[in-house]
Amino acid sequence: MCDKEEETTDHLFCCCETISRVWRSWCGNWSIQVALPDSLVSLLHIWVNLPLKPSLKPIWIVAFCGIIWTVWLQRNEAIFKKKKITGSFLLDMAMIRVGHWCKGNWPESFVYVNEFLCNPAGTSIPKKRSARPMPGSWTKPPDGSIKFNVDATVEGNYGKAGVGGILRDHRGAELMKFSENIGLSDATVAELIAIWRACQLLAQSNWDTNVNHIIETDSLLAESWIGNPASCPPCFIDLVHKCIPAAKSANCSIRFVYREKNVTAHLLAQEGIRRQGKMVWVATPSNV
């Protein structure tokens, strides 16, 4: 790959200056320093025995395979198609490959690939929970509370997007609904916009300010970033900073909920993709 030494397996995957930068850059994303050996077998032994959190271990195992496979494919491109390959290009290709492999292997636990690329260090595989709720099993809020379930839907990784939400009281009575086309977006931005819209509607409404206001989203990242903006990647921070004061103005708390408990909001978001504008429905006193 570097054209400086005769190619061997160990040199190609470990000792080559270009490849060694890929390994170090991957580790640097997690602020981990690894002394690279001159043997692929030794590197594998070091890699699988790194003192990582259990939630990170699966990603790193996939990463080892993903980096090796990426190096091999790009080595062939360099030899047979005379392409110039840089360390930064190799790292980008490996990150994308690892993100897609992890998402394919853990579709319910792993973040969207673009979120992984923006913030790899903040990504992990949560411990699998034994019991997921039944689809449609909405949970009522405590007495004296109203709850806005919100969701977003995007066609593909980046495409037409809709947001939607439904506000209910502790009896399950519907107080407000919204559904909106937000143009082109990725899933993370759309989820944050859904939360922001719900906060705005709550702040503008005449619902009793003495009751607890709750917003539930099935985006664990959005919920965690609003609660701890320091953990948010720079590419999403502007929107997170919009959500925080909006939630404060609406006097509401943001909570995570499983997708199965967010079915109605999801349907409203799907409808939003096909809308020409916004739909907001507010119950009259006789409806509540």
Q: What is the mean pLDDT of residues 17-46?
A: 91
Distances (CA, A) of 153 to 126, 257, 263, 282, 286: 23, 16, 12, 22, 32
pLDDT in tens, 200-246: 999 888 766 678 899 999 998 899 899 988 888 888 899 999 999 99
> How high is the pLDDT of residue 182?
96
pLDDT at 55 over 80: yes
Q: What is the mean pLDDT of residues 246-266?
A: 90
Q: How many residues are there in the chain?
A: 288
Q: What is the mean pLDDT of residues 87-92?
A: 93
The pLDDT confidence band at residue 35, using thresholds 50, 70 and 90, is: confident
Q: What is the mean pLDDT of residues 128-149?
A: 77
Domain 145-282 has CATH 3.30.420.40: no
Q: 3-state DSSP helix/strand/coil percent for the chain, to nearest 5?
A: 50, 20, 35
Domains in the chain: boundaries: 9-122, 145-282
pLDDT in tens, 147-179: 999 999 999 888 999 999 999 999 999 999 999
Distances (CA, A) of 87 to 14, 27, 75, 115: 13, 14, 12, 22
φ, ψ dihedrals at 153, nearest 5°: -135, 135
> How high is the pLDDT of residue 7?
85
Contacts of 34 by beta carbon, 8 Å cutoff, 6+ apart: 23, 24, 27, 46, 47, 50
> How high is the pLDDT of residue 134?
65
